[in-house]
Amino acid sequence: MKNFDFDEETIYKNRWIIQFVLIVVPFMGSLDASIVNVVLPSIKKDLGINLSLSSLIVSSYIITVATTIIIFGKLGDLKGKGRVFLYGIIVFIFGSFLCSISPNITILIISRVIQGIGASIVMANNQGLTAIVFPPNERGRALGLSGSAVALGSILGPALGGFIMTYLSWHFIFLINIPIGLISFIVGYKTLPARNSTSDVKLDKYGAFVFFISIFILFSSLLVSQDMGFSNLYVILGFFIGFVFLFFFIRLEKKLKEPMLNLNLFKVKSLSFNLVCAFIYYFISSSINLIIPFYLSDTFNYSQSQISTIILVNPLIMFFIAPVSGYLSDKIGPKKVTLAGLFIIICSMILMIRLDENSLKVYILASLCVFGFASGTFNSPNTTLVMSTVKSEYLGITGSINSLIRNLGMASGTSISTSILYHQMSSLAGHKVEDIVSSYFVYGMKSVFVVLLTLSITAFILSNIDKKLDFDKN
């Protein structure tokens, strides 16, 4: 790939064109994820596979992103974020093409892994590129647009998936990515900065390998625990081995002069606090996305189309609020907007705790609207805070850490909420419950929301502590 860069004036002039490139692939990833979830039953039937194998279509992608994102973030810092980002688009397009022509489940899963690698490369570097391209007083708006793009992908996915399955086959859901990706690559090739190597330092391959093994085992254990539970011996063993590898990774990184992951970054309290807040938000968000559809289905017997319509409220509100939140973040500071978002999350949890068998549809919609408003308010300012705490040479690795935290929060939220739900239903029933029982479900759901409320209050307190630290420092 051509080795060149642009002057700051050209970069600033092209900043919104560059932002188009930076949000297109996250949009495709969000669109892809929401469509795949809709058409998964059709893929299962067409390929003649069981439920466990069909779930690998989703989990293989998630695990690939989680295990490689830190590595590609470091590569972006070393070899140029723009260059690495463009390679990511190519890999994502190639993986999408392979998915579209997959004749069996084996080829499809391998193709999803390739697609996941491409998505990981892009996700690891797009936040760092945003921080390079946009000055601090415009960064919030840029990240707000990125949040809107992800929300738009979630909104369009179910409808587009239904249309494709009505008139075409599931293969076409992956073909959508190719023309969009090609346009993004062409525009990015002409405009993206940070295309030259920034260091002669080589990637810490041993650290990368140990980290890969650690996160692979930990994420696999999290995903398996959704079906087997946290008390399962294999799940416990998996977590133990994963943490042992993580311990060795930390020991190894501390000894190196040029580690893959500079652990001193976590000594920056503002970074650590805002990452914890991000983890809590994604934990809460994934838990709600898991619980609410079952609540609507098993408690009220709503049809799939009714459930899809109600669930769309959350990303729809987020789509409109995220750019406004980004604009306010630039005007009054990201910390104030982040705190406002966390406070509204607390309010939404209080509303959701009151959900039961007699809740009116308008109340359910209002609860989801409040959470969607909170999501749109919180996301981009918190990301701005994360990316503003480190020097420019660490933007790639910091952006990838933030993306890893997002994936870890979502996986943890889904797994732990499932365990709490079934534990509470079993406690009320007096015996082990292995499937959703309508008469016990609301009790289990309320217990999950109590945990989510506690976490949201914790995040609000942490964010206030961070605000005080910033005030004392200034």
Q: In this model, does residue 47 exceed pLDDT 60?
A: yes
Give the residue, 377 or 318, on which the prediction is more confident: 377
Q: Specify the residue for token string 């977590």.
A: 239
Give pLDDT, residue 473.
45
Q: What domains appear along the chain, each with residue ranges and CATH number?
A: 1-203 (1.20.1250.20), 266-474 (1.20.1250.20)
Cα–Cα distance measured from residue 24 to residue 122, given in angstroms and rounded to the nearest whole number: 10
pLDDT in tens, 177-212: 899 899 999 998 888 876 666 566 677 788 888 989
Query: In this prediction, what percent of the chain has a pLDDT beyond 90?
Result: 23
Query: In this prediction, what percent of the chain has a pLDDT beyond 70?
Result: 91
pLDDT band at residue 434 using 50, 70 and 90 as cut-offs: low
Q: In this model, does residue 146 exceed pLDDT 80?
A: no
Give pLDDT, residue 107.
92
Q: Which of 82-91, 412-421, 463-472 has the lowest mean pLDDT?
A: 463-472
Q: In this model, does residue 414 exceed pLDDT 90?
A: no
Measured CA to CA in angstroms, residue 18 lies from 126, 222, 226, 245, 398 at distances of 10, 36, 39, 38, 20
Give pLDDT, residue 389.
80
Give pLDDT, residue 94.
94
**The dihedral of CA 133, 138, 140, 141: what is its sign?**
negative
**Whether the Cβ atoms of residue 119 and residue 56 lie closer than 8 Å to each other:** no
pLDDT in tens, 50-82: 656 777 787 788 888 888 888 888 888 888 888
Give the mean pLDDT of 109-133: 87
Nearest partner of 42 among 61, 57, 27, 31, judged by Cα: 57
Q: In this model, does residue 433 exceed pLDDT 70?
A: no
DSSP code for 231: T
Report the length, in residues, of the chain. Answer: 474
Q: In this model, does residue 370 exceed pLDDT 90?
A: yes
Give pLDDT, residue 346.
96
pLDDT band at residue 138 using 50, 70 and 90 as cut-offs: confident
Give the mean pLDDT of 373-391: 86
Give pLDDT, residue 449.
95
Contacts 24+ apart (CB under 8 A), 212-216: 212/67, 212/68, 212/71, 213/245, 214/242, 214/243, 214/245, 214/246, 214/248, 214/249, 215/66, 215/67, 215/70, 215/242, 215/404, 216/63, 216/67
Nearest partner of 176 among 105, 116, 99, judged by Cα: 99
Cα–Cα distance measured from residue 25 to residue 153, given in angstroms and rounded to the nearest whole number: 10
Which one-letter amino acid corresponds to residue 415?
S
Give the mean pLDDT of 364-380: 92
Which one-letter amino acid corresponds to residue 444?
G
Give pLDDT, residue 126.
84
Nearest partner of 112 among 124, 123, 96, 93, judged by Cα: 96
Q: In this model, does residue 363 exceed pLDDT 90?
A: yes
Q: What is the per-residue burial (b if ≥16 Cβ within 10 Å, else e) of 130-164?
A: bbbbbeeebbbbbbbbbbbbbbbbbbbbbebbbeb
Distance of CA 174 to the CA centre of its chain: 20
Q: Specify the residue for token string 């300012």.
A: 381
Cβ-proximal residues to 432 (8 Å cutoff; 6+ apart), any chain: 426
Give pLDDT, residue 141.
79
pLDDT in tens, 442-454: 888 999 999 999 9
Give the mean pLDDT of 33-46: 75
Give the residue, 95 or 222, on which the prediction is more confident: 95
Give pLDDT, residue 347.
96
pTM: 0.82
> Average pLDDT over the chain, rounded to whole?
83
Give pLDDT, residue 51.
58
Give pLDDT, residue 467.
63
Q: In this model, does residue 226 exceed pLDDT 80?
A: no
pLDDT band at residue 98 using 50, 70 and 90 as cut-offs: very high
SS (H, E, C) 369-408: HHHHHHHHHHHHHHHHHHHCCCCHHHHHHHHHHHHHHHHH
Give the mean pLDDT of 378-406: 82
Give pLDDT, residue 53.
73
Give the residue, 396 or 473, on which the prediction is more confident: 396
Give pLDDT, residue 407.
81
